[in-house]
Amino acid sequence: MSAQDDLARENRTSRWPTLTGRTWGSMNQSTHRVGLPAEVLDDMAGVVGAEVTVLGRLPGGVNAGALRVQLGGKAHAVLKAVPRAHPNQLDETLRARRVVEHMRGRGYPTPAWLGVGATATHVWHLMDFVDGAPAAVLTPSIVEQLMEIIELQAGQASEPYDHWLYAWRVATGQESALGGLSGYSSVVSGLVERLRLVCAGLPPPREAPDMVHADLNPSNVLVRDGAVVALVDIENAGSGTRATDLTTLMWHSFQDPLDGVRGQLWTRILVVVGWEGATMLAATQILLQLEWPIRLGRHDLIAGVVKRGHRLLDELSALR
């Protein structure tokens, strides 16, 4: 796996009675070890009505990270808590819970959310623990399973959080946060200019009919014995086109065993959104993949992103 994929796994990013039988000393010690304020576990315990014990960190997660916890000395669960960054953060997390409930009712394999809440400093959510490991690599079998899972998202938009319209704004240069990319280097500038030319004049999308996961990278795909058992980190889910998630898979499938599967991905994307829509989504993926390593100062990753970006555009151009 490349250094870029390793950091993507680290960075993924990327929007609930009274406690009985709790031991204050053990809780305070465990929260200290993981760097999480005790108030967060206090709030969670009050919502779920059970003793909470932190067992340790899980791979992935952001800020405070994903923590494996035990409820009432029995069931295991996963806690994610992030520092408050803006006033609407709890509302966004509640939106994600509604998406989870809606999609689970349609057979979508994402863990049930057991609770959502907020303290003065953090917003948190608690979900079922799933026995599976993040996909180390995307094998052809895993990609094919994911393509079928993504079809469950068709026509299932349930929240007005439009990733489709956002992609259009990114691809057509209307997102100010991405406006400084061209000044990074001549090679980045060349790729950004190519993207601007290919996206010039693209009309805004007319509808957002599908549910969108919005972060379907390998670290958010849990696998057991070669089978996909869960899709996690669904906090940014919303509406749009399911081709958004297919395009993310496309970005993470640049290795030899997947060359054949890439053709299947492109075919499905073009069926769902056509060539102009595929161009918009590819451009958005490339620009966002450029933005975060530049923002984090991971200059060693830029050349790889630029190479992938040009290859993605070359493949798309050949399909026109």
The model's pLDDT over 235-274, given as tens digits with 9 standing for 90+, comes to 999 999 999 999 999 999 987 666 788 999 999 999 999 9
User: Residue 185: pLDDT above 70?
Assistant: yes
User: Residue 289: pLDDT above 80?
Assistant: yes
Burial environment of residue 77 by CB neighbours within 10 A (0 to 12, 13 to 18, 19 or more): buried
Q: Which residue has the higher pLDDT, 89 or 12?
A: 89
User: Residue 8: pLDDT above 60?
Assistant: no
User: Residue 29: pLDDT above 70?
Assistant: no
Q: What is the pLDDT of residue 34?
A: 59
Q: Are 252 and 218 in contact (CB under 8 A)?
A: yes
Q: Which residue has the higher pLDDT, 102 or 72?
A: 102
- For residues 192-221, give the mean pLDDT: 94
- DSSP class of residue 305? H
**Cα-only R_g, the chain:** 20
Q: pTM for the full model?
A: 0.87
Which of 79-88, 169-178, 255-264, 307-316 comes out lowest in average pLDDT?
255-264
Q: What is the pLDDT of residue 22?
A: 27
- What distance separates the 2 farthest-apart alpha carbons in the chain? 64
- For residues 39-64, give the mean pLDDT: 80
Cα 126 versus chain centre, distance: 17
Burial environment of residue 90 by CB neighbours within 10 A (0 to 12, 13 to 18, 19 or more): middle
Tokens coding 94: 């509640």
Tokens coding 223: 């696998």
- For residues 214-224, give the mean pLDDT: 94
What is the pLDDT confidence band of residue 65, given thresholds at 50, 70 and 90? low
Q: Are 102 and 156 in contact (CB under 8 A)?
A: yes
Q: What is the pLDDT of residue 260?
A: 81
Q: What is the pLDDT of residue 125?
A: 95
Domains of the chain: 15-129 (3.30.200.20), 134-318 (3.90.1200.10)
Q: Are 281 and 210 in contact (CB under 8 A)?
A: no
Contacts of residue 320, defined as CB under 8 A and 6 or more positions apart, other chains included, come to 275
